Amino acid sequence: MVLDGKVCRPGWLAIAGRRISDCGSGTPPRPPDVDFPDAVVVPGFVDMHVHGGGGGWYTDGRGDEIAAAAAFHRRHGTTTTLASLISAGPADLLAAVGALAEATRAGVIAGIHMEGPWLNPVRCGAHHPAQLRNPDVAEINAVLAVGNGTIRMVTLAPELPGSTTAIRRFRDAEIIVAVGHTDATYEQTRLAIAEGVTVGTHLFNAMRPLHHREPGPALALLQDPRVTLELIADGVHVHPALVHAVIEAAGPDRVALVTDATAAAGCADGPFRCGTQQLDVVAGVARVHGTSTLAGSTATMDQLFRTVAGLASDPDEGLAAAAKTTSTTPARVLGFDHVGSLRTGLDANLVALSHDLQVRAVMANGDWVSES
């Protein structure tokens, strides 16, 4: 069991209602109601960047699809979800924000991540270039009004005209600002961090690549201890050796694993639609139709947990790092002080994993939502 960042063999939890009422290492003080003798119990995963799963999109703003996507990822251990939007026209964007705001208030998701539309077309990825635009204060104010406190994070390209004003407006609204889908230089990225950027969206992907004469945004984000680094550790977006190198260099306290999953997660290969873009999923890899451009992932957080846990030479170090990067770090970044760790007083969100780190059971807010 990973209790408050430390691996305990064995460990125990006492749960009252939706909270952890007590916990500790060693033999439990009374016979357990549920025993996992050959398992690892870790905090429920916190995914701060996910567009859908199980055939459902968060981006379409449909209540049934939002619920289906959240339920799919919950079965894979994600007990806290920040639903990510993709770039859209002004009216569609406001409608989607409104739908996700309602889902947030209902407790289906934990908040909204706006990935765009204030992104650079040069690094658009799966975002349709026609839907991208420069930050506009009037549109930002309209979005904030509809979101009404449910927007937790916004990804933008800091080199776009109006971006500095946008960063300040979002920070004034206590919204996390991330750099992503950007062609910014090293210097432009450093200036954005100075203005209040604290997250690098899916590091290395959809951003100017690292170069020895123009290091670009990746190095600026890596170097600054104020910045948390998203990584899609699915073996497709970032090589496992580079995932390991980033965690070694920055430390697991600065790395948040994200799925960036699409509705195709958990589904068979085939065609999918993402906003106005057509996607093709082949061998579990999603790409924009007719191109080699990656379009999100089909990953789940338990898959990413296994990847990071297997990178360390010491098994306990690997488990501790995986628990931090899939739960503790993203919870801290998002300001969620009630989740992210197995500790007395926090929500009883946990995942029981088998000896090979496959999901055996999931608990959210003190209730079993998946058990096998």
Q: How far apart are CA 300 and CA 264, in angstroms?
A: 11
Q: Please check if 166 is assigned to a binding site.
A: no
Asked whether the predicted pLDDT for residue 205 surpasses 90, the reply is yes
Known binder of ligand: residue 296?
Answer: yes
Average pLDDT over residues 257-266: 97
- Which of the residue ranges 13-22, 348-357, 363-372 would you say has the lowest mean pLDDT? 363-372
Instruction: Let me know if residue 10 belongs to a domain.
Output: no
**Domain assignment of residue 30, yes or no:** no
Residue 192 assigned ligand-binding role: no
Q: Which pLDDT belongs to residue 275?
A: 77
Query: 200-221 burial by CB neighbour count: b if 16+ within 10 A, else e?
Result: bbbbbbbbbeeeeeebbbbebb
Is residue 348 a known part of a binding site? no
Residue carrying the six token digits 């635009």: 133
Q: Per the domain annotation, does 348 fall within a domain?
A: no
Whether residue 143 lies inside any domain: the answer is yes
Which CATH number does the domain housing residue 217 bear?
3.20.20.140
Domain membership flag for residue 12? no
Residue 260 falls in the annotated catalytic set: yes
Q: Is 126 annotated as a binding residue?
A: yes
Q: What is the pLDDT of residue 15?
A: 96
Contact 48, 82 (CB under 8 A): yes
Say if residue 295 carries a ligand binding annotation: yes
Amino acid at 322: A
Determine, yes or no, domain membership for 137: yes
Is 9 annotated as contributing to ligand binding?
Answer: no
Q: Structurally, how many domains does the chain consist of?
A: 1
Q: CA nearest 102: which of 147, 145, 141, 132?
A: 147
Does 205 appear as a known binding residue?
A: yes
Within a domain: 212: yes
Q: Which of 47, 183, 260, 302 is catalytic?
A: 260
Q: Tally Cβ neighbours within 10 Å of residue 16.
A: 10
Q: Which of these, 35, 26, 34, lies nearest to 7 by C-alpha position? A: 26
- Average pLDDT rounded to a whole number, residues 315-336: 97
For residue 5, which amino acid is it? G
Residues spanned by the domain of 210: 44-335
Would you say residue 72 lies in a domain? yes
pLDDT at 173 over 60: yes
Read off the pLDDT of residues 280-299 as tens digits, 9 standing for 90 and up.
Answer: 999 999 999 999 999 999 99
Q: What's the rounded Cα separation, in Å, for the pair 19 and 251?
A: 29
* Side-chain-side CA neighbours of residue 105 (13 Å): 10
